[in-house]
Amino acid sequence: MEDDAEPERNFVAALAATEYLVQRYGFVRLQSDGPNRQCPKKLIAIAGEFSLYYYEKYPYGAMCYALSPSAARALVAASGTLTGPVDLFIRRFWKHGQPLYGLSPHAVKAGPHSAQSTIPGRAKDKTPAGLRIRRLLHKAKSALDRASFNKRYLSERSAGDVAVGPAVGSRQFVDMPRMRRS
């Protein structure tokens, strides 16, 4: 959790749900998708008052998430050379192979200090045509790689049986065998 994050009222309950979910799914995001953003995702599990979604396209930012040891190892193994910010590395799940999930309702929001960035502003120069074309091709390849990973992962996932996990309060953790788009 970053120092400019602010816990929501449900934070303690979210941690209890995440303790189970992270061991099963590896990576659980606890923050929102961002202001006015709805990322494509599929419902995977119900954990008491929380829902767990698989991100088909991961939102920006890495303010607060939980990792299992195996997910951490997968990320470290794939990060031999980082060529950009860590949140962009995490976002490219088709490269490191770790599926990314998010908890809803979210347990963390941007705090009052998050608007004050320590990253200085960058002047945007006119980008040469050759570089614009390379970026466009890179984005197109990334979109195809992401779609391929999602298709493969979701088809393997939908073949699973319903599993019931430990109870929290009067509710149970239940994996959803057929996923619904949110």
Per-residue pLDDT tens digits for 37-68: 778 888 888 888 899 999 988 887 788 899 99
The mean pLDDT of 5-28, rounded to a whole number, is: 91
Contacts of 32 (CB under 8 A, 6+ apart): 106, 108, 109
Share of the chain above pLDDT 90, in %: 23
Query: Residue 121: inside a domain, yes or no?
Result: no
Nearest to 99 by CA among 131, 135, 59, 71: 71
pLDDT tens, residue by residue, 64-104: 899 999 999 988 988 887 777 888 888 888 888 888 999 99
Per the structure block, which two tokens stand in for 123? 């002047």
Query: Residue 151: inside a domain, yes or no?
Result: yes
> Which residue segment(s) compose the domain that 49 sits in?
5-110+131-175
Query: Residue 124: inside a domain, yes or no?
Result: no
Q: Is the pLDDT of residue 178 over 80?
A: no
pTM: 0.76
Torsion of CA 31, 37, 39, 42, to 10 degrees: 70
Query: Residue 72: inside a domain, yes or no?
Result: yes
Query: Residue 167: inside a domain, yes or no?
Result: yes
Query: Residue 49: inside a domain, yes or no?
Result: yes
- Number of domains forming the structure of the chain: 1
Q: Is the pLDDT of residue 29 over 60?
A: yes
